[in-house]
């Protein structure tokens, strides 16, 4: 079984992904990751660079150029969803919890109101 390492805030990015991204390479990679996420795929939550970050043009020499911002997003998603670093859960549970606690409760602006993509807002 495949296990993905994902940042907490990527539970939101995945649900609003429209095939666009920071670069064509990143968008193609994001699409491939999403396509591989079956309901029972295991997710290991990380607050570091993850399987999606690996092709992001904001990743410079192993560090995200917007690290402070994405760390803030991660902390807020963990707070609202009860996630913790190192937690392993299914992709279905990962995505449903973010939908239930953030998207359905209209709390996106609390988490990522300054996101360049303004997903779902």
Within-domain flag for 118 = no
Per the structure, how many domains does the chain have? 1
Which among 68, 70, 76 has a CA at the least distance from the CA of 108? 76
Which among 18, 21, 14, 32 has a CA at the least distance from the CA of 97? 14
Within-domain flag for 25 = yes
In tens, the pLDDT along 40-58 reads: 899 999 999 999 999 888 8
pTM (2 d.p.): 0.91
Within-domain flag for 119 = no
Structural domain containing residue 43: 3-112
Within-domain flag for 15 = yes
In tens, the pLDDT along 78-106 reads: 999 999 999 999 999 999 999 999 999 99
| 29 pLDDT higher than 90 | yes
């Amino acid at each position: 079984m495949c296990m993905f390492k994902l940042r907490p805030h990527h539970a939101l990015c995945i649900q609003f992904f429209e095939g666009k991204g920071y670069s064509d390479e990143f968008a193609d990679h994001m699409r491939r990751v999403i396509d591989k996420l079956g309901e029972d795929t295991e997710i290991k939550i990380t607050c570091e660079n993850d399987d999606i970050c690996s092709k992001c043009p904001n990743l410079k020499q192993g560090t995200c150029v917007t690290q402070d911002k994405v760390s803030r997003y991660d902390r807020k998603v963990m707070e609202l969803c009860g996630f913790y670093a190192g937690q392993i859960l299914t992709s279905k549970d990962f995505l449903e919890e973010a939908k239930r606690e953030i998207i359905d409760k209209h709390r996106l602006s609390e988490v990522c109101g300054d996101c360049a993509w303004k997903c779902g807002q």
